[in-house]
Amino acid sequence: MKTKQCLSIIVLVIVSVLLPSVYATPTVEILMEKTTFRYCEKLFYTIEVSEVTGDPAIIHIRDQADKGSSAISIPISNQTNPIPSMIPFEAEIFPIGKYFIDVEYAGAKDSAEFDLIDSENVCIPTLMKQVAFSWINDKMSDGFFIDAINKFIDKNIISIPDKINEKNLESIHIPKWMKNTVGWWLEDKISDNEFSQVIQYLINKEIIVI
Protein backbone atom coordinates (compact mmCIF):
# COMPACT_ATOMS: atom_id res chain seq x y z
CA MET A 1 0.00 0.00 0.00
CA LYS A 2 2.79 2.38 0.89
CA THR A 3 4.53 1.48 -2.36
CA LYS A 4 1.41 2.46 -4.35
CA GLN A 5 1.16 5.75 -2.45
CA CYS A 6 4.80 6.50 -3.13
CA LEU A 7 4.34 5.73 -6.83
CA SER A 8 1.28 7.99 -6.97
CA ILE A 9 3.19 10.83 -5.34
CA ILE A 10 6.08 10.39 -7.80
CA VAL A 11 3.67 10.40 -10.76
CA LEU A 12 1.97 13.57 -9.47
CA VAL A 13 5.31 15.30 -9.03
CA ILE A 14 6.41 14.38 -12.55
CA VAL A 15 3.10 15.51 -14.04
CA SER A 16 3.18 18.81 -12.14
CA VAL A 17 6.68 19.48 -13.47
CA LEU A 18 5.96 18.51 -17.07
CA LEU A 19 2.50 19.99 -17.58
CA PRO A 20 3.53 23.67 -17.50
CA SER A 21 6.12 23.12 -20.25
CA VAL A 22 3.76 20.99 -22.33
CA TYR A 23 0.93 23.49 -22.31
CA ALA A 24 2.97 26.71 -22.13
CA THR A 25 2.39 29.24 -24.93
CA PRO A 26 5.42 29.53 -27.23
CA THR A 27 7.28 32.82 -26.93
CA VAL A 28 8.41 35.11 -29.73
CA GLU A 29 10.93 37.96 -29.71
CA ILE A 30 12.16 40.45 -32.31
CA LEU A 31 15.90 41.15 -32.21
CA MET A 32 16.92 44.25 -34.18
CA GLU A 33 20.25 44.40 -36.00
CA LYS A 34 20.23 48.10 -35.09
CA THR A 35 17.63 50.69 -34.15
CA THR A 36 18.59 53.47 -36.58
CA PHE A 37 18.54 53.12 -40.36
CA ARG A 38 19.34 55.52 -43.21
CA TYR A 39 18.14 55.76 -46.78
CA CYS A 40 19.66 53.09 -49.05
CA GLU A 41 20.09 50.70 -46.11
CA LYS A 42 18.00 47.55 -45.80
CA LEU A 43 15.97 46.57 -42.77
CA PHE A 44 17.31 43.48 -40.98
CA TYR A 45 16.03 41.79 -37.86
CA THR A 46 15.73 38.31 -36.35
CA ILE A 47 12.68 36.50 -35.02
CA GLU A 48 13.42 34.13 -32.14
CA VAL A 49 10.84 31.60 -30.94
CA SER A 50 10.93 29.20 -28.02
CA GLU A 51 9.68 26.32 -30.15
CA VAL A 52 8.82 25.54 -33.78
CA THR A 53 5.10 24.85 -34.01
CA GLY A 54 4.62 24.87 -37.77
CA ASP A 55 2.78 28.20 -37.59
CA PRO A 56 4.05 31.18 -39.59
CA ALA A 57 4.92 34.49 -37.96
CA ILE A 58 2.62 37.31 -39.02
CA ILE A 59 4.43 40.64 -39.37
CA HIS A 60 3.08 44.19 -39.61
CA ILE A 61 5.28 47.25 -40.04
CA ARG A 62 3.70 50.59 -39.13
CA ASP A 63 4.85 54.18 -38.95
CA GLN A 64 4.45 56.72 -36.16
CA ALA A 65 1.05 57.74 -37.57
CA ASP A 66 0.01 54.10 -37.05
CA LYS A 67 -0.27 53.54 -40.80
CA GLY A 68 0.66 49.91 -41.29
CA SER A 69 1.63 47.49 -44.02
CA SER A 70 -0.43 44.51 -45.09
CA ALA A 71 0.18 41.34 -43.10
CA ILE A 72 3.43 39.61 -44.05
CA SER A 73 3.54 35.86 -43.43
CA ILE A 74 7.01 34.55 -42.54
CA PRO A 75 7.63 30.75 -42.36
CA ILE A 76 9.26 29.76 -39.07
CA SER A 77 11.46 26.70 -39.50
CA ASN A 78 14.04 27.34 -36.78
CA GLN A 79 14.11 28.89 -33.35
CA THR A 80 16.30 31.68 -34.77
CA ASN A 81 15.06 33.18 -38.05
CA PRO A 82 16.96 36.07 -39.73
CA ILE A 83 14.63 38.34 -41.72
CA PRO A 84 16.53 40.44 -44.30
CA SER A 85 14.66 42.96 -46.43
CA MET A 86 15.31 42.76 -50.16
CA ILE A 87 14.37 46.40 -50.76
CA PRO A 88 16.31 49.36 -49.33
CA PHE A 89 14.66 52.36 -47.71
CA GLU A 90 13.83 54.96 -50.37
CA ALA A 91 12.74 58.53 -49.67
CA GLU A 92 9.89 58.27 -52.18
CA ILE A 93 8.32 55.42 -50.20
CA PHE A 94 9.45 55.80 -46.58
CA PRO A 95 9.30 59.20 -44.84
CA ILE A 96 11.77 59.79 -42.03
CA GLY A 97 10.50 59.04 -38.52
CA LYS A 98 9.84 56.18 -36.12
CA TYR A 99 8.63 52.77 -37.26
CA PHE A 100 7.33 49.73 -35.41
CA ILE A 101 7.49 46.02 -36.18
CA ASP A 102 4.72 43.85 -34.70
CA VAL A 103 4.90 40.06 -34.76
CA GLU A 104 2.36 37.41 -33.78
CA TYR A 105 3.31 33.76 -33.61
CA ALA A 106 1.31 30.84 -32.22
CA GLY A 107 -0.60 33.15 -29.86
CA ALA A 108 2.48 35.07 -28.70
CA LYS A 109 3.21 38.70 -29.62
CA ASP A 110 6.14 41.07 -29.56
CA SER A 111 6.99 44.53 -30.92
CA ALA A 112 10.18 46.41 -31.73
CA GLU A 113 10.90 49.88 -33.05
CA PHE A 114 13.49 51.68 -35.15
CA ASP A 115 14.15 55.16 -36.49
CA LEU A 116 14.64 56.09 -40.12
CA ILE A 117 16.75 59.22 -40.45
CA ASP A 118 17.78 61.40 -43.36
CA SER A 119 21.25 61.06 -44.78
CA GLU A 120 23.41 62.18 -47.66
CA ASN A 121 23.45 58.66 -49.09
CA VAL A 122 22.87 58.50 -52.83
CA CYS A 123 19.99 56.10 -53.33
CA ILE A 124 19.03 54.88 -56.80
CA PRO A 125 15.47 53.51 -57.14
CA THR A 126 15.25 49.70 -57.07
CA LEU A 127 13.46 49.77 -60.41
CA MET A 128 16.72 50.78 -62.07
CA LYS A 129 18.31 47.48 -61.12
CA GLN A 130 15.68 45.64 -63.14
CA VAL A 131 16.42 47.95 -66.06
CA ALA A 132 20.17 47.47 -65.67
CA PHE A 133 19.77 43.69 -65.55
CA SER A 134 17.92 43.81 -68.88
CA TRP A 135 20.63 46.00 -70.38
CA ILE A 136 23.62 43.84 -69.41
CA ASN A 137 21.76 40.80 -70.79
CA ASP A 138 21.30 42.54 -74.16
CA LYS A 139 17.52 42.82 -73.79
CA MET A 140 17.65 46.63 -73.95
CA SER A 141 19.59 49.02 -76.15
CA ASP A 142 22.15 51.53 -74.89
CA GLY A 143 19.74 54.34 -75.73
CA PHE A 144 16.84 52.95 -73.73
CA PHE A 145 19.16 52.31 -70.77
CA ILE A 146 20.30 55.95 -70.75
CA ASP A 147 16.70 57.09 -71.27
CA ALA A 148 15.66 55.06 -68.18
CA ILE A 149 18.44 56.72 -66.15
CA ASN A 150 17.15 60.09 -67.34
CA LYS A 151 13.56 59.26 -66.32
CA PHE A 152 13.99 57.36 -63.05
CA ILE A 153 17.11 58.80 -61.40
CA ASP A 154 17.11 62.24 -59.81
CA LYS A 155 18.94 64.85 -61.90
CA ASN A 156 20.99 65.76 -58.83
CA ILE A 157 22.41 62.24 -58.88
CA ILE A 158 22.98 61.71 -62.61
CA SER A 159 22.50 64.56 -65.05
CA ILE A 160 21.77 63.56 -68.66
CA PRO A 161 22.20 66.20 -71.42
CA ASP A 162 18.91 67.73 -72.54
CA LYS A 163 19.53 66.73 -76.14
CA ILE A 164 18.42 63.13 -75.50
CA ASN A 165 15.18 62.32 -77.37
CA GLU A 166 13.39 59.51 -79.14
CA LYS A 167 15.11 60.30 -82.45
CA ASN A 168 18.66 59.89 -81.16
CA LEU A 169 18.12 56.93 -78.80
CA GLU A 170 19.57 54.46 -81.30
CA SER A 171 22.72 56.53 -81.77
CA ILE A 172 23.62 56.49 -78.06
CA HIS A 173 26.64 54.30 -77.36
CA ILE A 174 27.97 52.86 -74.10
CA PRO A 175 31.32 50.99 -74.08
CA LYS A 176 30.87 47.22 -73.67
CA TRP A 177 33.23 47.14 -70.67
CA MET A 178 30.73 49.30 -68.78
CA LYS A 179 28.59 46.17 -68.34
CA ASN A 180 31.19 44.89 -65.86
CA THR A 181 30.72 47.99 -63.71
CA VAL A 182 26.94 47.71 -63.88
CA GLY A 183 27.24 44.03 -62.93
CA TRP A 184 29.28 44.97 -59.84
CA TRP A 185 26.56 47.43 -58.88
CA LEU A 186 23.87 44.77 -59.28
CA GLU A 187 25.89 42.47 -57.02
CA ASP A 188 26.30 45.27 -54.42
CA LYS A 189 30.07 45.27 -54.93
CA ILE A 190 29.93 49.03 -55.49
CA SER A 191 27.51 51.49 -53.92
CA ASP A 192 24.82 53.59 -55.58
CA ASN A 193 27.08 56.58 -55.06
CA GLU A 194 30.06 54.95 -56.81
CA PHE A 195 27.85 53.74 -59.65
CA SER A 196 26.35 57.20 -60.22
CA GLN A 197 29.81 58.82 -60.16
CA VAL A 198 31.08 56.43 -62.84
CA ILE A 199 28.07 57.05 -65.09
CA GLN A 200 28.31 60.82 -64.66
CA TYR A 201 32.06 60.82 -65.36
CA LEU A 202 31.60 58.82 -68.58
CA ILE A 203 28.84 61.17 -69.72
CA ASN A 204 30.85 64.28 -68.92
CA LYS A 205 33.89 62.91 -70.77
CA GLU A 206 31.66 61.84 -73.68
CA ILE A 207 32.83 58.25 -73.32
CA ILE A 208 29.13 57.48 -73.19
CA VAL A 209 28.15 59.06 -76.49
CA ILE A 210 24.82 60.88 -76.46
Cβ proximity of 200 and 192 under 8 Å: no
Nearest to 90 by CA among 147, 152, 148, 33: 152
Give the chain as a 3 state SS string.
CHHHHHHHHHHHHHHHHHHHHHHCCCCEEEEECCCEEECCCCCEEEEEECCCCCCCEEEEEEECCCCECCCEEECCCCCEEEEECCCCCCCCCCCCEEEEEEEEECCEEEEEEEEEECCCCCCCCCHHHHHHHHHHCCCCCHHHHHHHHHHHCCCCCCCCCCCCCHHHHHHCECCCCHHHHHHHHHCCCCCHHHHHHHHHHHHHCCCCEC
pLDDT of residue 168: 80
pLDDT of residue 165: 73
pLDDT of residue 15: 46
pLDDT of residue 1: 52
For the chain, domains (ranges, CATH) are 26-117 (2.60.40.1930), 127-204 (no CATH)
Q: Please report, in tens digits, the pLDDT of each residue of the chain (210 residues total).
A: 555 555 555 544 454 555 554 557 899 999 999 999 998 889 999 999 999 999 999 999 999 999 888 999 999 999 999 999 988 888 878 999 999 999 999 999 999 999 999 877 788 888 899 999 999 999 999 999 999 999 889 888 899 887 777 778 888 999 999 999 999 999 989 999 999 999 999 999 999 988
Crossing angle of helices 192-204 and 178-186, rounded to 10°: 160
Q: What are phi and psi for residue 197, nearest 5 degrees?
A: -65, -40
pLDDT of residue 185: 95
